[in-house]
């Protein structure tokens, strides 16, 4: 009975694989169990977005610092400065509007986060690192699944969804 119950629980649980690269040692100091934290957070984020539990997701996360983030931002966005989060979707914007039930596994893409940029923001805004970090994770994942904020209407829609998801994690 116990084995059967475990198999049922496993079936109901969403499979999420997080590939993690930590380039800046400050991340390890702040989050000694960062892989577990990210996996739980990403799983909660995806569960609040996708109702189907049959799909497995994979995501890569780079925890870096100012220098590398500035280089990434310059290379991919032509902006020569640090930023909090960058997202590199693996799929086209319209991919997630289609029926995902036919997919067993989806690679979402890559997210990069800058420790120093986040630290500077939290000091200015007097908020917790954890809260802002979670917000940037949600923001990054939403970009991976096609959300944009290049107009006020899209910004408002994305921001409302972001807030809703943050409340669940």
Q: What's the predicted TM-score (pTM) here?
A: 0.86
Tell me the Ramachandran region of residue 109: left when phi exceeds 0, alpha when psi lies from -120 to 50, beta otherwise.
left
Over the stretch 48-71, which tens digit does the pLDDT of each residue have?
Answer: 888 766 788 999 999 999 999 999
Give the CA distances from residue 114 to residues 71, 78, 111, 120, in Å, rounded to whole numbers and listed in that order: 11, 17, 10, 10
Over the stretch 97-140, which tens digit does the pLDDT of each residue have?
Answer: 775 666 778 899 999 999 999 999 999 999 999 999 999 999 99
Q: For residue 125, what are its two tokens?
A: 């805004």
Q: What angle do CA 27, 58, 106 make, to 5 degrees?
A: 155
């Amino acid at each position: 009975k116990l084995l059967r119950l475990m198999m049922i629980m496993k079936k109901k649980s969403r499979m999420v694989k997080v590939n993690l690269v930590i380039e800046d040692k400050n991340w390890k100091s702040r989050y000694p169990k960062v892989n577990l934290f990210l996996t739980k957070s990403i799983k909660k984020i995806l569960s609040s977005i996708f109702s189907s539990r049959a799909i497995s997701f994979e995501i890569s996360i780079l925890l870096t610092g100012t220098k590398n983030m500035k280089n990434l931002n310059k290379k991919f966005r032509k902006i020569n400065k640090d930023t909090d989060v960058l997202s590199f979707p693996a799929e086209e914007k319209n991919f997630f509007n289609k029926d995902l039930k036919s997919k067993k596994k989806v690679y979402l893409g890559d997210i990069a986060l800058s420790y120093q940029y986040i630290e500077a923001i939290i000091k200015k805004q007097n908020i917790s690192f954890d809260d802002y970090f979670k917000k940037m994770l949600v923001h990054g994942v939403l970009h991976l699944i096609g959300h944009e904020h290049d107009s006020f209407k899209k910004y408002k829609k994305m921001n409302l969804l972001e807030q809703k998801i943050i409340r669940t994690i």
